Amino acid sequence: MNKLDKFEQCDAISVVIRDNSGSDTIIDVASTVEASSVVKAHATPSNHMIYVLVDGDRVDRWDRDRVKNENRWVRTNPDEFEVLGQIREVIRG
């Protein structure tokens, strides 16, 4: 069962993608299934945070490790401290 399934009967679902330069892109979706697909599609090294809004409240969030060119995403508390603006990436040697 998808964690977002309990929000299927809501008024508005949006996925917010924050890229590495700090810009947010908001994508409105019709269902939690579509939200999950958008999250998976945008979990790339060019982004560093993705969160889901349900009726204006953050319900789920994923952060990417800040190691350059790596794509490891971690589910994070939606209200945890977040990096605003451009992120600095660690270059692993």
pLDDT, one tens digit per residue, over 17-68 is 999 888 999 999 998 889 999 999 999 989 999 999 998 899 999 999 877 7
66 vs 3 pLDDT, higher one:
66
Question: How far apart are the C-alpha atoms of 90 and 67, rounded to whole Å?
Answer: 5
Q: Does residue 9 sit within a domain?
A: yes
Q: Note whether residue 15 is domain-resident.
A: yes
Pairing outcome for strands 24-29 and 73-76: unpaired
Residue 15's domain spans which residues? 3-76
Domain assignment present for residue 22? The answer is yes
Q: Which helix (H) or strand (E) holds 34?
A: helix 32-42
- Model-wide pTM > 0.85: no
Is there a domain that residue 88 lies in?
no
For residue 6, pLDDT over 70 is answered with: no
CB 86 within 8 A of CB 21: yes
Residue 19 falls within a domain, yes or no? yes
The domain total for the chain is: 1
pLDDT attached to residue 79: 87
Q: Pick from 48, 51, 44, 43: which is nearest to 26 by CA?
A: 51
